[in-house]
Chains A and B, each alone.
Chain A
């Protein structure tokens, strides 16, 4: 049953949390801590939905006051593959513009860098048939920071690669599957 057949829009709000890891690059000595996010999506067809996501990743450099918070707003498209009446796979791609806030309170240092963010993720969703769907997700974010020679002159340090895994919930409204 498609949303369009009812002439109304289905949508959902999602909330999620999980662990984040950085791969190499400028933050290679950092540990990932936690990733939290929220989003609002509208169904464009039975299988396709699009919306706005916002995730925040927190990294720290162990045993020091150095911290990095990565804010990742993005537009995303998600495709729903209905594997069974209970399980769906939701691959998603996104494009956004991220902000990386680096601080070290011991030296009163703070800097914000920013750049384009390409993202891909996969959700394994349990379809409850009710208002709430729960899911597991794995995501990959690639951020390419805008050039700022005072921050770094290395191209490899402008590239940030983040992996996150976690749990989330979709809160649905309107017509949905």
Chain B
């Protein structure tokens, strides 16, 4: 009887080890609209190397952050940027507008908090240097208002 339970215990340990070894991450950025958290987590890397996602077409969906906060939106518009939020876990992605600025911001101004925004853009690397620590993150560049879809209208 105890031999049986030792076997079960050994089996469980093997399962734990198999489970803990599943680490590979690989996604296609331009096939389907990805969640904000997936894009932010995937698009990181070393400052010394060029990552495969840099300058790639990227499809992402999320909710507009700071909706209803007029002063933040005015600041965003002046800086030609806004943020997409993943409401499930708080990750957010900076989107920089490099094109139809007036059209894009006027469309976004007509949205409400619960609108799901779909964006097609280009993943651009940004470097954050703090002392000797260097980290690479991502911002999304968007040019045309047609690259933004609200609630898949």
A152 touches B2 (CB 8 A): no
B2 touches A45 (CB 8 A): yes
Chain B's closest residue to A95 (CB) is B12
Q: Does A54 count as interface, using CB distance less than 8 angstroms?
A: no
Instruction: Report how many A-B pairs have Cβ atoms within 8 Å.
Output: 89
B87 touches A104 (CB 8 A): yes
Q: From the candidates A26, A45, A144, A152, name the one contacting B1 in the complex (CB within 8 A).
A: A45
B113 touches A29 (CB 8 A): no
B63 touches A154 (CB 8 A): no
**Residues B28-84 near A (CB distance < 8 A):** 32, 34-35, 37-38, 41-42, 63
The docked-state distance in angstroms from the alpha carbon of A93 to that of B13 is 8
**Most chain A beta-carbon neighbours within 10 Å: one of B2, B63, B90:** B90
Q: From the candidates B20, B88, B114, name the one contacting A108 in the complex (CB within 8 A).
A: B114
A109 touches B5 (CB 8 A): no
B22 touches A48 (CB 8 A): no
Chain A's closest residue to B116 (CB) is A107
Q: From the candidates A28, A77, A149, A155, name the one contacting B23 in the complex (CB within 8 A).
A: A155
Taking residues whose C-beta sits less than 8 angstroms from the other chain, chain A's interface range is 35 or more
A156 touches B37 (CB 8 A): no
Interface size on B, residues (CB 8 A): 32
Q: Does B152 count as interface, using CB distance less than 8 angstroms?
A: no
**Residues A50-68 near B (CB distance < 8 A):** 50, 61, 64, 66
**What residues on A are CB-neighbors of B89 within 8 Å?**
26-30, 61, 66, 102
Known A-B contacts A45-B2, A66-B88; A144 and B8 likewise in contact (beta carbons under 8 Å): no
Q: From the candidates A77, A106, A118, name the one contacting B8 in the complex (CB within 8 A).
A: A77
Q: Does A111 count as interface, using CB distance less than 8 angstroms?
A: yes
Q: Does B105 count as interface, using CB distance less than 8 angstroms?
A: no
B87 touches A120 (CB 8 A): no
Q: Which residues of A are interface residues toward B (Cβ below 8 A)?
A: 26-30, 44-45, 48, 50, 61, 64, 66, 77, 93-95, 102, 104, 106-109, 111, 116, 118, 120, 142, 144, 149, 151-159
User: Which 8 pairs show the lowest CB-CB distances between chains A and B?
Assistant: A118-B16, A29-B90, A153-B27, A104-B87, A93-B12, A107-B87, A61-B90, A144-B19
